[in-house]
Structure 1
Amino acid sequence: MNLILLIDILGTVAFAISGVLTAINKRLDPFGILIIAFVAAIGGGTLRDILIDAPIAWMRDLTYVYVIFGTTILTVIFRKRLNYIRRSLFLFDTIGIALYTIVGVEKGIAAGFSPIICISLGTITACFGGVIRDILCNEIPIIFRKEIYATACILGASAYFLLLQTPLSTDIIVIISGSIVMTVRLLAVYFNLSLPTIYTKEELE
């Protein structure tokens, strides 16, 4: 198994867990939990593949479907061990966007797109599964709020192309770029950093 495929599978697991936790938090039934896990895990990748006119990965390789089913079942069984739902959701969501950003960039490079398009594809892959998950669960998606979310993906994807100019191996570049996404997201939450708002204090009240 090559590194990108491994990262793709790990990203699928991370987002499936985030979907299950969100659905449990909303008190959905088992079918609802499975659907939310599924769209969270493959939503961004499906949109990416449609945009670049590539075969949709999970439809050609049932490994992704099996991984989502297995992850959903295990997360439901062991949900009581995840004592802090919100903290667990944040952790797996952060891991998911870091992994999927790199997968999206690699898919764009393989398709022969320019760096800007590849960065966009990485961000779409990372963010839009969570967007669909949140919309279905009647939440405003994080990407549309002032939290630093998509920005972390853009920075990590941009770092990927900068690091390509160095003698570092691709595997090291992948690890560093993914780590940048996670670090930026974690630091933003820890220090309560956010993007500037266009609204006045009166409008927010």
Structure 2
Amino acid sequence: MTGLLPWLEWAGVAVFALTGALVAARKQMDPFGFALLGTVTGIGGGTLRDILLGIRPVPWILDPTVVVICLVVSLAAFFTAHLFEREGRAKAILWADALGLALFTVTGTAKALGADAPAISAVMLGVVTATFGGIIRDILAGDVPLALRRDIYVTAALAGAIVFVLANRLLSPEVDDLLGFAVVFLIRGLAIARGWSLPQYGGRG
């Protein structure tokens, strides 16, 4: 896992940056809007996680690789977003977001465990890493964040983070990333494909 962690982090950053850029396309933003939404989506969750872990300065300040990835992906999407069919763009955003959610759940939980955070804290930091960037993206775009809708979203990240920690502690660090990723993507993917959602508060008579 240690050797894969940077690559998984970069992959998650790229995928989440793409979701931010696709939202910018849906909102018909200019290149700056693409870059802004892509960047805050790509690095928002990891930045909050590192701040909560007490990492100073935040790693991307000294090594801006992830920022460069966000900018490249976002600006590339500005010229290619039209390739996504208009009616299929929302689905593309959801599936790309599901992939980013799974990747960031794994990397966030792994980084928290690597910083000697207790298991429960590592689970929560994995969820924060996976969801916070998307929350910022949706707020800036004027949408209700996915994490606050009926969609099974945070629940998927929470389940994957728990499985990751259990696999790391009880099985082997060799399989924790694979199992955590699979659980998140499977739950979120089924929710997208089958329209699963959590119960919604309907008031009381």
Please classify the TM superposition score into its range, dividing by the shorter chain length. over 0.9
Alpha-carbon displacement from aligned partner over 1:70-107 (angstroms, at most 9, x marks no partner): 11122222222222211111111111110011111111
Residue 167 of structure 1 and its aligned partner are, at CA, apart by 4.2
Which amino acid in the other structure matches residue 72 of structure 2?
G
Which amino acid in the other structure matches residue 7 of structure 1?
L
Residue 171 of structure 1 and its aligned partner are, at CA, apart by 3.9
Report if aligned partners of 1:12, 1:41 keep a CA contact under 8 Å in 2. yes
Which amino acid in the other structure matches residue 65 of structure 1?
V
Q: 1:79: which partner in 2?
A: 81
Aligned-partner Cα distance in 2 for 1:135–1:61: 27
Among 122, 137, 143, the alignment partner of 2:141 is 137
Aligned residue pair count: 201
Alignment of 1:185-204 (within 5 A): 185-200=188-203
RMSD: 1.7
Worse-superposed segment, 190-199 or 27-36: 190-199
Alignment of 1:110-149 (within 5 A): 110-149=114-153
Report if aligned partners of 2:101, 2:130 keep a CA contact under 8 Å in 1. yes
Report if aligned partners of 2:43, 2:67 keep a CA contact under 8 Å in 1. no
Question: Within the alignment, does 1:99 sit opposite 2:103 as a pair?
Answer: yes
Aligned-partner Cα distance in 1 for 2:167–2:123: 14
Q: 1:183: which partner in 2?
A: 186
Aligned-partner Cα distance in 2 for 1:106–1:162: 12
Residue 44 of structure 1 and its aligned partner are, at CA, apart by 0.8
Report if aligned partners of 2:167, 2:175 keep a CA contact under 8 Å in 1. no
Which amino acid in the other structure matches residue 75 of structure 1?
A
Report if aligned partners of 2:60, 2:66 keep a CA contact under 8 Å in 1. yes
Structure 2 unaligned residues grouped into runs of 5+:
none
What's the secondary structure of 1:106's corresponding residue? helix
- TM-score, structure 1 normalization: 0.92
**Relative to structure 1, is the Cα distance of residues 116 and 182 closer, same or farther in structure 2, using a 3 angstrom cutoff?**
same
Report if aligned partners of 1:3, 1:171 keep a CA contact under 8 Å in 2. no
Worse-superposed segment, 118-127 or 51-60: 51-60
- The percent of aligned pairs where both chains have the same amino acid is 32
Worse-superposed segment, 101-110 or 74-83: 74-83
Q: 1:59: which partner in 2?
A: 61
Structure 1 unaligned residues grouped into runs of 5+:
none
- TM-score, structure 2 normalization: 0.92
Report if aligned partners of 2:17, 2:74 keep a CA contact under 8 Å in 1. yes
Aligned-partner Cα distance in 2 for 1:45–1:165: 23
Residue 128 of structure 1 and its aligned partner are, at CA, apart by 0.5
Among 68, 72, 96, the alignment partner of 2:70 is 68
